[in-house]
Structure 1
Amino acid sequence: MTLRLLDEVNYDAEMESKVLPALDACMTEGWMDPATVDWNGDALPKLDEPGRLHYCCYDAAKFDALREDGASGVFRGAIVISHGFTEFARKYSEMAWYFLLAGYSVCILEHRGHGHSVHDVDNPSLVWIDDWHRYVSDLAAFADSVAREYACDKPLHLYCHSMGGGIGAAVLERYPALFDKAVLSAPMIAPVVGMPTWLARIATGMLCGLGFGKSRVFGHTDFSTDLDLSEHEGASEARVRWFHQQRCDDVSCQTNAATFEWAYQALALSRAILKPDMCGAIETPMLLFQAGRDIWVLNGPQDDFVERVREGGGSIEKVRYGQSLHEIFSMPNEVLGPYLDKIFDFLAAPDASL
């Protein structure tokens, strides 16, 4: 299908007058209890305050009733969005709009420590997690309960970015029948840490053992309302400014820095994802996008992941955007258009072959 992309020149106006009102009209917000067991049925570590996880779901039937221009009018199932590090549900408003236009309901879980989900540290800029298995179990539980209801016996797909892509990959390895297809956009198969990952894993593990697990990683800072566009050179300025404004407007969306425990768990997640037997366990057809100018996640481990999935008999296609920044969905329309076309062609393919 052909989508009309939002006009970057009038981006804020289109978001405020068209996209957000439509999303609000078909959105249901909810809260779920965190998972207490992992995929093996083993108990996850107990937390003093488990809290609750926040999610937003957009119903395709309610959206179609709005009669928006360009809407397909054909229900195709549901898409779960697994967001990245320091992100939040509202950041994916434009992507949700396009998915709805294409006929999909959209379900977004805000990962623990992000958005309006429970935070385990007082500083709203910091992200902490005690065990990466928790991310995986929470996302799987959300998809299998809340999102599956929105799929209405139609396909249930996964769209995931960065940290959410690492979590998504682990879910696909451990719950091979959960999703029908999956799109991994610049997934965090391994994060950029400024040193060999094995050394970073040892260093962060030692610091956590010394009691610094909830301390800020060196070089990370608290959120600032000042926006440095030089960090986003080549992206759509309109999209970058809109994303930033959402963070300025809501303190719950101002996560900005990793703790040492988060870094340690991210590295442990990476190691687990890349195990050949786990890559070989994936049954879901996948489309992986790689950003050539990525400074947040490593391209090499993505390549290793693709190779190991294929060696294990899995179906995966890699598409590389050599000049794209990490957030491919933040790029100008000349990049975003083909990116979306590729996603929708992949999801609409009648069989699992790529």
Structure 2
Amino acid sequence: MQYLEEFLSTPDGHDIPIRLWRPRSTRHILIIAHGMAEYCERYAPLAEWLTESDIAVIALNHRGHGMDCDDAKLGYFADHRGWTRVVDDLHQAVCFAKAQIPDCPITLLGHSMGSFIGQSYLQAYGDSVSQVIFSASNRVDRPKLLISQALIAVIAALKGRRATSGLVDFLSFGQFNRPFRPNRTASDWLSRDAEQVDAYIDDPYCGFSCSLGLWQDFIGGMLTLQPAGWPSTVPIHLLSGGADPVGEFGRGIERFAGQLRRAERRLVSYKLYPEARHEIINETNADEVWEDIRALVLHGRLSDAPEHSN
């Protein structure tokens, strides 16, 4: 296996950190878009394992994330058009993949915030990937998002876009943890695996407070999502924990699947892992999840015959 670290220059002067895990013989490519307040190197164990099946893995760190980000910019996208720039960065990563390893099918895996970036990517760049996997995603709850947008706008007007807000943190991640009381940590909602939770807490590049500007960009980007505007030919797969508060404990995923069907998008499969929480690739049933991801990349189907499969 070859491991490569690269930086891609963007039109606005940003350098996108790219990580490539490449097997000696490549049949497929998986591109990973990570979640909020984490970074792409956390996916290295999965990437290295996938290379054993001739799958090359490319991951990028979103703006405001990762070890290459200046501390002053951690948790901040950009002064202008932050969401669009993050989506465009992902497109540069896709173009990089095609240039490095031509003529291989590309699967896009977006986790949590990365799943919404992936949805925007489908809207902006159509069928430039072969299929998508949305991990730990959810439906777009417009009334709730509009209320959050208004609240954050007021706080940002007072504190500035680069500032953080304890109230916003409490109303997001703090609320995610409440269903798991009594809590051992503030991040119990991530996984049932205590070692994984502790590693996340001990990592300075995980769990940081994101800026009000990032929240504004994120919510604004989510409000633009319209599945009817996605290509109808690209296969979509949904994977989520049945106890993931981001996915409303499965209810949001069920509704999201219904939205995709009504929009006549190509929802091929979705799977809820019972009792699993938010970070399904770091859960106590990670072996099952990894096998499913590998099967989806290689064959476009899950590794078993799940109840929720089309």
Distance 1:331 1:344, change over 3 A: same
**Contact (CA 8 Å) 2:138, 2:256: kept in 1 or not?**
no
1:33-112 correspondence runs (5 A): 33-35=9-11, 50-61=13-24, 75-112=26-63
1:297-312 correspondence runs (5 A): 298=248, 301-312=252-263
Corresponding residue for 1:343?
293
The reply on whether 1:291 has 2:248 as its aligned counterpart is no
Quick one: distance in 2 between partners of 1:171 and 1:285? 14
Corresponding residue for 1:236?
193
Task: State the Cα distance separating 1:211 from its structure 2 match.
Answer: 5.4
Corresponding residue for 1:321?
273
> Residue 262 of structure 1 aligns to which amino acid in structure 2?
L
**Contact (CA 8 Å) 1:127, 1:255: kept in 2 or not?**
no
Distance 1:342 1:350, change over 3 A: closer
Corresponding residue for 1:28?
4
Distance 1:129 1:318, change over 3 A: farther
Secondary structure of the structure 2 residue equivalent to 1:179: coil
Quick one: distance in 2 between partners of 1:105 and 1:328? 21
The reply on whether 1:199 has 2:162 as its aligned counterpart is no
Secondary structure of the structure 2 residue equivalent to 1:55: strand
1:120-269 correspondence runs (5 A): 122=72, 124=74, 126-130=75-79, 131-144=82-95, 146-187=96-137, 189-190=139-140, 196-210=144-158, 212-219=160-167, 220=169, 229=185, 231-232=187-188, 235-245=192-202, 247-248=203-204, 253-254=205-206, 256-269=208-221
Task: State the Cα distance separating 1:207 from its structure 2 match.
Answer: 3.2
Quick one: distance in 2 between partners of 1:93 and 1:235? 20
Task: State the Cα distance separating 1:337 from its structure 2 match.
Answer: 2.2
Q: Runs of 5+ in structure 2 lacking a partner?
A: 171-183, 302-308
> Residue 33 of structure 1 aligns to which amino acid in structure 2?
S
Quick one: distance in 2 between partners of 1:170 and 1:305? 15
Corresponding residue for 1:41?
none
What RMSD over aligned residues (CA atoms) do the two structures have, in Å?
A: 3.0
Give the one of 265, 283, 286 matched to 1:331.
283
Quick one: distance in 2 between partners of 1:292 and 1:331? 12
Q: Runs of 5+ in structure 1 lacking a partner?
A: 1-24, 37-49, 62-73, 222-227
> Residue 19 of structure 2 aligns to which amino acid in structure 1?
C
Quick one: distance in 2 between partners of 1:118 and 1:103? 31
Distance 1:208 1:303, change over 3 A: farther
Task: State the Cα distance separating 1:277 from its structure 2 match.
Answer: 2.9
> Residue 318 of structure 1 aligns to which amino acid in structure 2?
Y
**Contact (CA 8 Å) 2:30, 2:297: kept in 1 or not?**
no
Distance 1:189 1:56, change over 3 A: farther
Secondary structure of the structure 1 residue equivalent to 2:62: coil
Task: State the Cα distance separating 1:91 from its structure 2 match.
Answer: 0.7
**Contact (CA 8 Å) 1:217, 1:260: kept in 2 or not?**
yes
**Contact (CA 8 Å) 2:200, 2:207: kept in 1 or not?**
no
Q: How many percent identity over aligned positions?
A: 18
- Could you tell me the TM-score, scaled by structure 2's length? 0.80
Quick one: distance in 2 between partners of 1:350 and 1:272? 28
Give the one of 257, 267, 271 matched to 2:223.
271
Distance 1:183 1:123, change over 3 A: closer
Between Structure 1 and Structure 2, whose CA radius of gyration is higher?
1
Number of aligned residue pairs:
285
Task: State the Cα distance separating 1:187 from its structure 2 match.
Answer: 2.2
Task: State the Cα distance separating 1:181 from its structure 2 match.
Answer: 1.4
> Residue 37 of structure 2 aligns to which amino acid in structure 1?
T
**Contact (CA 8 Å) 1:89, 1:115: kept in 2 or not?**
yes
Task: State the Cα distance separating 1:276 from its structure 2 match.
Answer: 4.5
Quick one: distance in 2 between partners of 1:174 and 1:303? 25
Task: State the Cα distance separating 1:292 from its structure 2 match.
Answer: 2.5
Distance 1:31 1:255, change over 3 A: farther
